[in-house]
Chains A and B, each alone.
Chain A
Amino acid sequence: MAKVIIYPTNSLILSDMVERFGHEPLAMMEKIKEIINTVGVDSPPLNITPEGPKHGLKYAAVEVPAGVRGRMSLIGPMIDLAEAGIIVGDSSISFGCMGCARTNELTKFLIREKDIPILEIQYPHTEEEGQDFVYKIAEFLKSLPSGSDEK
């Protein structure tokens, strides 16, 4: 099983596919679940406090807007853990959306910078493209090691 970072980081479809092929998706939903369940922190809606953007300084300098650094405080540690990555380009908002173009650019850059297997694929617009899209992702996921220790 490999830890697979997905982009868009909150894509339910991608996350589900990664899981179906026996890997662990590194996705925003799990991260958000983790922080909103943090006992003693009450900062709705996402429970991100001003500490978040400070933690994000590990991934982006202080002149980068607080919203980007706050997002990076969630995404950055996932990228650190990633053993593989899937980046879907030009996807529609309904497929997954991080909201901030600068965060998107940085996220993709940091994934690409890692020495891990990465699948870069464009979002499909026709049925045929859709089938090819799913096939390529499936093949990529099958090619990954089935156990984390088998890397």
Chain B
Amino acid sequence: MSDKGDPVLIALVSCGSEYAGVQSELEKAASMLNAKLVYPEMDVATLDTIGMEFGLEVASPDLRLMMARAKAVVEGVAKVDGVFVTSCFRCAEAAIVRNELRRYIFEKSGLPVISYSFTERTTAATLLTRLEALTTIARRKHLLARVKQSGITAGVDSGSTTTKAVVMKDNEIVGEGWVPTIKVIESAETALQQALDQAGLKREDIQAIGTTGYGRFLIGEHFKADLVQEEITVNSKGAVYLADKQKGSATVIDIGGMDNKAISVQDGIPGMFTMGGICAGASGRFLEMTAKRLGVEITDLGDLAIKGMEKNVEMNSYCIVFGIQSLVNSLAKGSSPEDVAAAACHSVVEQIFEQQLQEVEVKEPLILVGGSSLIAGVPKALGDLLKIDVIVPPHSQLIGAVGAALLASGYVSE
């Protein structure tokens, strides 16, 4: 997975990572990507004044160290390709500093920057996707500049719940496949075959293939893929391509089966982004369970939600267990299925709003992708909450596969 050549230099602006036992995981993830973590140098005396200088007086010296390091990055003292800002999960003081530093670095330096709050359970695997996106933005800008697909390429998105595939030819989607992920390689084979059959093409006609999603490495190796890429880069590209918003700013929200992504995009290149942790309450799975409880197909849940009023249902929890229990109780008290469906969509969206959209700057257009975007109640709830129009591009459920096919076409030209 690592790229050859010079390592990408990532400034680590952190507090507590060495004491939480995650420092070696950070180093491990970086080395897997041929990236090097660097620690911007600053004068120790700066620590006494940086709080006032930055305008944020905090009690913890390590947070002041973060500020001083961020300043060193912005002022070019430390020459780096990207910045990873990280601190302890559940530390309020650090969360304020982390968010403000991410904004400060991104606005003042234009460098790609991501932030993450860790626990002692954070592993290199969890960090990998985030760092991979960071290194890709730094390393493959030329590839991300691609705005049109060319030749015949395929993209396969091996997600945690479903596997999606598309075949593209001369900037058009000519075949698509979508199957539940059961056995990763077999599901990918089936999805790709579906797409090829629809396109009327054979495997050997494909000039380049790109893989993404949780199973990207495994299926990438299986298909001998030209491009194996994490979802943040691929989905950003796929979203702005399908929504025809490749120039200027945009915000991409992807509600996936296991985690969600909120990505601030500029000219098709991700800037700030967050990846939600694994919480089923803010995922498509919550909507699936609601549909099951209401006795409707998941495809009908959205239309039901459009007719309902979420305010008529009291939900006490976002949790997939206790939240669903609230919905069941509402039904027992006489709430309509329409109201319950609307409440479920609102619950998922509200959680994304509270936990993720606070961390990225929401710039219009807001492009909603992923399977959940097809449930009409979800974009409606998001639009209502943010008071802006939400764009759901065509083929929004295939976003990863389309992005992978588009980016893979860079290898056809090469």
Contact = CB atoms under 8 A, between A and B. Distances in A.
Interface of A: 42-46, 48-54, 63-71, 92-94, 97-102, 104
B120 A66 contact: yes
Interface string B83-108: 00001111101100000000000000
24 contacts: A43-B21, A44-B27, A45-B18, A49-B21, A50-B21, A52-B19, A52-B20, A52-B120, A53-B19, A53-B119, A54-B120, A64-B90, A65-B90, A66-B88, A66-B119, A67-B16, A67-B87, A70-B120, A71-B19, A92-B48, A93-B44, A97-B61, A99-B61, A102-B60
Contacts of A92: 48
A99 B60 CA distance: 6
A27 B24 CA distance: 24
A51 to B, nearest CB: 7
B59 A66 contact: no
A48 B18 contact: yes
Given A65-B90, A65-B91, A66-B119, 5 more contacts: A48-B20, A52-B19, A65-B88, A67-B15, A69-B20
Contacts of B121: 50
A74 to B, nearest CB: 8
B151 to A, nearest CB: 46
Contacts of B15: 67, 99-100
Contact of B90 (A51, A54, A63): A63
Interface in B1-42: 15-24, 27
B350 to A, nearest CB: 23
Contacts of B258: none
- Of all A-B residue pairs in the complex, the 6 with the closest CB atoms, nearest first, are A67-B16, A65-B88, A101-B59, A70-B19, A99-B62, A66-B20
A45 B16 contact: no
B179 interface: no
B412 interface: no
Interface string B66-94: 00000000000000000000011111011
A46 B89 contact: no
A98 B19 CA distance: 11
Interface residues of B, number: 31
B65 interface: yes
A69 B118 CA distance: 13
A66 B14 CA distance: 13
Contacts of B243: none
Nearest to B18: A46
B47 interface: yes
B19, B20, B62 pick with most chain A CB within 10 angstroms: B19
A93 B44 CA distance: 9
Contacts of B17: 67
A42 B28 CA distance: 12
A49 B58 CA distance: 27
Given A53-B120, A65-B16, A101-B93, A70 B48 contact: no
B18, B48, B91, B121 pick with most chain A CB within 10 angstroms: B18
B27 A93 contact: no
Contacts of A46: 18-19, 23
B19 A51 contact: no
Given A50-B121, A52-B120, A100-B16, A65 B22 contact: no
A44 B120 contact: no
Nearest to B64: A93
Interface string B360-371: 000000000000
